[in-house]
Amino acid sequence: MASKPDPVLRETPVDELKPAAARSELKSLAAEILEHDRRYYSEDAPDVTDAQYDVLRRRNAQIEARFPQLKRKDSPSDRIGAPPLAAFATVRHAVPMLSLGNVFTDDDVEAFCDRIRRFLGLEADEELAIAVEPKIDGLSATLRYEDGIFTLGATRGDGAQGENITQNLKTIKTIPQHVEAEDFPPVFEVRGEVFMSHDDFKALNQAQATNGKPEFANPRNAAAGSLRQLDASITASRPLGFFAYAWGETASLPVGNQNEMIAAFKRWGFPVNPLFKVCTRVADMLAVYSEIEARRASLGYDIDGVVYKVDRLDWQNRLGFRSRQPRWAVAHKFPAEQATTVLEDIEIQVGRTGALTPVARLKPVTVGGVVVSNASLHNEDYIKGIGGDGLPLREGRDIRKGDWVIVQRAGDVIPQIVDVVIGKRPGHAKPFSFPTKCPECGSQAVRELDEKSGKTDAVRRCTGGLFCPAQAVERLKHFVGRNTFDIEGLGTKQVEAFFAEGLVRTPADIFTLEARNASFDPPIASHEGWGATSEAKLFAAIRTRRHIGLDRFINALGIRHVGEGTARLLARTYGDIDSFYQAGRALGVGDEAARAEMEAIDGIGPAVVEALGDFFGEAHNAQILAALLEQIEVAPVEAAATTTPVSGKTVVFTGTLEKMSRAEAKARAEALGAKVSGSVSVKTDIVIAGPGAGSKRAKAEELGVEVLNEDDWLALIGQN
């Protein structure tokens, strides 16, 4: 795996996470999901089940929803699939192939519909039609037709580009080679799912066994492996099916809603799922979900949930996308499975932020087809049986070494312990004593007090900071990671080895490594696993990373509460390293004006501002930063390629908007390159004032800031 999960952070309820814990967990989630995507999409060999993977993504989405300022640049929400394999020609999708967000509960479904209503500004009695269909567990594909002729077929790949598998797709008998319908657009991309039925999967594996070949793990792997054969004749010999459910690039659409599009697909000769329905009430949506779940075993093909989509296409267009997921669609996944086993030990891991995270070591047990040997124990309160809201363990059930426990495969790489079988508890089992000192460096481990809520942090943290080996190493790993400095050849093992040998202890040490190498005994090339070529490649890779973008640089610093999303927002706001550094130093010395200015940035909260102030206020951080900046050059943020009337302008919305919701207005402004702020200052360019505007409008007029009403604003951006 790309990295080890941080299980206490992973399993702490999202509503109890502190920003620092959330940032650390989002980093861990991003690395793990990336590795799962690679194995799933590129190798067709996943090592976790769909349920495990789905809740992994759900956990990530929930944290991002609560801490939008912490969203990472490599967020799984912004990444779809995996890069295309080099064995196939690459196809760039004219319209990206997006993934869906997930929901798991009835309340989640109701919240999905409520968000849509709020975004669109719908009245309570206005009908909201939602299309419902099974979520097929197969391989996504796009089929391009020009003048009715099937000309190009591709996999989803990473969402932006996929693999050219045209000839393989042409072997699927249910995919039309030519569409002659009069209303079929001259250019049209049909999108859907390639799958294999249970009966065909069983027959294929029997044939594989007979021929002495390895069997496929499940129908999805079999379908994906069959479709991505370099020899199309092999694909032709495999029984594959296809369901159409969406579209990409098109010259036009003949209808106005999802329901009519599915009917059009069917009329044009494309297979569609017969369980497709349209509902106008949440209760009806949930009833269809229950009906499909009940029929799951008898369908003859794999599904892992249902998909809800806003039926009206004009509303889909208005809703648009959040990152690379549509606001108008979501997948409602099926629940997890459980098993019982013995908890053999409880181990404490120390994460990059100093969090002490307990992990349950289990007697291996199969849960839903996956062998589980580890499970998260959340935090010390959870072990004591103080579960808290949102945690799965039954209140009052403390967890002890030797206990029989019920494990739930809730979609996480590290599953959850949801209950203890008290009747089978060994007589010698004693309550677990959580350490109050860091097992890595011996420093005191404390639980911080949240001054605002008055509650004690659920996570216990080492106070050793940069002195703690676990934190120092993890901070360096973060610094050189894929979405920070991305130094090829300097991965987890190399960072750990260089740190243990004293060669690299701070970020600046990385960039002086080549100059210092001559004094090493032995030089890096003579270390185990190294040679002259690998040494040269490493130094070359380090040299190429002496120039880095501001957002990646900010993220690389590992500041608490500042992940990819927040780093990108800060970079876009300040523009260059000098401006960001000056703002940070001002925070560090307690400049209230600097604090107010930063808190006015839409998406930046007090926790982020506090963390930046703490970081820049620490002398050792200033020294580390100064040494680093002597070695590298930080590039300013480039101006947007597309210029709009509001590109680069700072805008503030105040009062009541009558033609769109506040969320929609903000999304439109940001899509056009504007910066949306929550307060008016001398740096504000435009204030959009609706009825009821008060102090913000008054301040804008006092400062001479341009004030527009909603109609003027829409005219300015060309959307009136």
DSSP state letter for 322: E
pLDDT at site 1: 35
Q: How far is CA 681 from the centre of its chain?
A: 34
Query: What's the pLDDT band for 599 if we cut at 50, 70, 90?
Result: confident
pLDDT at site 409: 66
Give 85's Cβ-side CA count (13 Å radius). 20
pLDDT at site 704: 92
- Nearest residue to 329 via CA among 353, 348, 308, 360: 308
Range in 147-151, 408-412, 497-501, 644-648 the model is least confident about: 408-412
pLDDT at site 378: 84
pLDDT at site 2: 40
pLDDT at site 188: 97
Question: Do the domain assignments include residue 454?
Answer: no
Neighbours of 499 (CB within 10 A): 17
pLDDT at site 44: 56
- Nearest residue to 373 via CA among 384, 383, 364: 364
* pLDDT tens digits along 640-693: 545 788 888 899 999 888 888 777 888 788 778 888 888 888 889 999 999 888
pLDDT at site 247: 96
Q: How far is CA 616 from CA 167, 335, 575, 613, 704, in A?
A: 58, 45, 18, 5, 34
DSSP state letter for 113: H
Residues 173 and 282 both lie in one domain: yes
pLDDT at site 187: 95
* pLDDT tens digits along 94-116: 998 888 888 989 999 999 999 99
pLDDT at site 412: 41
Question: Do the domain assignments include residue 516?
Answer: no
pLDDT for 613 beyond 70? yes
Contact 421, 63 (CB under 8 A): no
pLDDT for 5 beyond 50? no
Contact 187, 119 (CB under 8 A): no
Give 628's Cβ-side CA count (13 Å radius). 24
For every residue of 346-369, DSSP letters joined together read: EEEEE-TT-EEEEEEEEEEEEETT
Question: Do the domain assignments include residue 542?
Answer: no
Residues 73 and 137 both lie in one domain: no
Query: What's the pLDDT band for 6 if we cut at 50, 70, 90?
Result: very low
pLDDT at site 4: 44
* pLDDT tens digits along 282-294: 999 999 999 998 7
User: What's the CATH code of the domain at 395?
Assistant: 2.40.50.140
Most confident of the following: 13-27, 237-251, 462-476, 615-629: 237-251
Average pLDDT over residues 326-353: 86
Residues 685 and 615 both lie in one domain: no
Task: Calculate ∠ Cα 475-599-559, nearest 5°.
Answer: 5
At 1, is the secondary structure helix, strand, or coil? coil
Neighbours of 199 (CB within 10 A): 12
* pLDDT tens digits along 566-598: 898 898 888 899 999 999 999 988 888 888 888
Hunting for tokens 């216990």 — which residue is that?
460
Biggest CA pair distance of the chain: 83
Residues 106 and 214 both lie in one domain: yes
Query: Domain ends where: 393, 424, 455?
Result: 424
Total tally of structural domains belonging to the chain? 4
Measure the CA dihedral 175/181/184/188, to 10°: 30
Residues 290 and 391 both lie in one domain: no
pLDDT for 37 beyond 70? yes
> CA–CA separation, 171 vs 192, rounded Å?
16
Residues 170 and 247 both lie in one domain: yes
Q: Which region, left, alpha or beta, applies to residue 503 given φ > 0 means left and ψ of -120 to 50 means alpha?
A: alpha
Residues 201 and 324 both lie in one domain: yes
Q: How far is CA 186 from the centre of its chain?
A: 36
> CA–CA separation, 574 vs 581, rounded Å?
9
DSSP element (H, E) containing 627: helix 619-629
Q: Which residue has the higher pLDDT, 54 or 233?
A: 233
* pLDDT tens digits along 233-282: 888 888 899 999 999 999 889 999 999 999 999 999 999 999 999 999 99
Beta bridge partners of 607: none
> CA–CA separation, 377 vs 358, rounded Å?
6
At 471, is the secondary structure helix, strand, or coil? helix
Q: How far is CA 88 from CA 80, 154, 237, 581, in A?
A: 18, 10, 20, 45
Question: Do the domain assignments include residue 409?
Answer: yes
Most confident of the following: 45-49, 74-78, 340-344, 451-455: 340-344
Question: Do the domain assignments include residue 285?
Answer: yes
User: What's the CATH code of the domain at 684?
Assistant: 3.40.50.10190
* pLDDT tens digits along 516-560: 998 999 999 999 889 999 999 999 999 999 999 999 999 998 887
pLDDT at site 657: 87
pLDDT at site 677: 85
Q: Where are the alpha helices (DSSP H) in 269-371?
A: 282-294, 313-319
User: What's the CATH code of the domain at 604?
Assistant: 1.10.150.20
Question: Do the domain assignments include residue 134?
Answer: yes
Query: Domain ends where: 390, 424, 458?
Result: 424
Question: Do the domain assignments include residue 262?
Answer: yes
The torsion angles phi and psi of 224, rounded to 5 degrees, stand at: -65, -45
pLDDT at site 414: 59
Beta bridge partners of 706: 686
Residues near 463 by Cβ (< 8 Å), separated by ≥ 6?
354, 438, 443, 444, 445, 446
pLDDT for 470 beyond 60? yes
Query: Domain ends where: 371, 394, 424?
Result: 424
At 641, is the secondary structure helix, strand, or coil? coil
At 183, is the secondary structure helix, strand, or coil? coil
Q: How far is CA 233 from the centre of its chain?
A: 37
Domain containing 582 equals 549-635
pLDDT for 66 beyond 70? yes
| pLDDT, averaged across the chain | 85
pLDDT at site 466: 53
Residues 328 and 340 both lie in one domain: no
Contact 355, 24 (CB under 8 A): yes
Contact 545, 487 (CB under 8 A): yes
Task: Calculate ∠ Cα 642-648-649, nearest 5°.
Answer: 130
What crossing angle do the helices spanning 106-120 and 662-671 adopt, rounded to 10°?
A: 70
pLDDT for 426 beyond 70? yes
Range in 168-172, 323-327, 448-452, 481-485 the model is least confident about: 448-452
The torsion angles phi and psi of 593, rounded to 5 degrees, stand at: -65, -40
Most confident of the following: 10-24, 250-264, 399-413, 450-464: 250-264
Hunting for tokens 């100093």 — which residue is that?
354
Which amino acid, 559?
I
pLDDT at site 611: 77
pLDDT at site 432: 94
pLDDT at site 559: 82
Query: What's the pLDDT band for 387 if we cut at 50, 70, 90?
Result: low
Residues 628 and 674 both lie in one domain: no
pLDDT at site 299: 86
Residues 327 and 343 both lie in one domain: no
Residue tagged active-site, from 27, 135, 333, 675: 135
Query: What's the pLDDT band for 347 if we cut at 50, 70, 90?
Result: very high
Task: Calculate ∠ Cα 323-326-332, nearest 5°.
Answer: 115
Residues 622 and 668 both lie in one domain: no
**E strand residue ranges, 158-205:** 161-163, 187-195
For every residue of 487-521, DSSP letters joined together read: -TT--HHHHHHHHHTTS-SSHHHHHTHHHHGGGSS
* pLDDT tens digits along 117-133: 999 999 988 999 999 99
Average pLDDT over residues 406-422: 74
User: What's the CATH code of the domain at 117?
Assistant: 3.30.470.30
Residues 67 and 134 both lie in one domain: no
Question: Do the domain assignments include residue 464?
Answer: no
Average pLDDT over residues 157-163: 85
Neighbours of 546 (CB within 10 A): 12
- Cis preceding linkage at 522, omega within 30: yes
How much of the chain exceeds pLDDT 90, in percent? 39
Query: What's the pLDDT band for 178 if we cut at 50, 70, 90?
Result: very high
Most confident of the following: 145-159, 212-226, 604-618: 145-159
Q: Which residue has the higher pLDDT, 86 or 217?
A: 217
Q: What is the pTM of this model?
A: 0.51
Q: Which region, left, alpha or beta, applies to residue 300 given φ > 0 means left and ψ of -120 to 50 means alpha?
A: left
* 202 noted as active-site residue: no
Contact 232, 206 (CB under 8 A): no
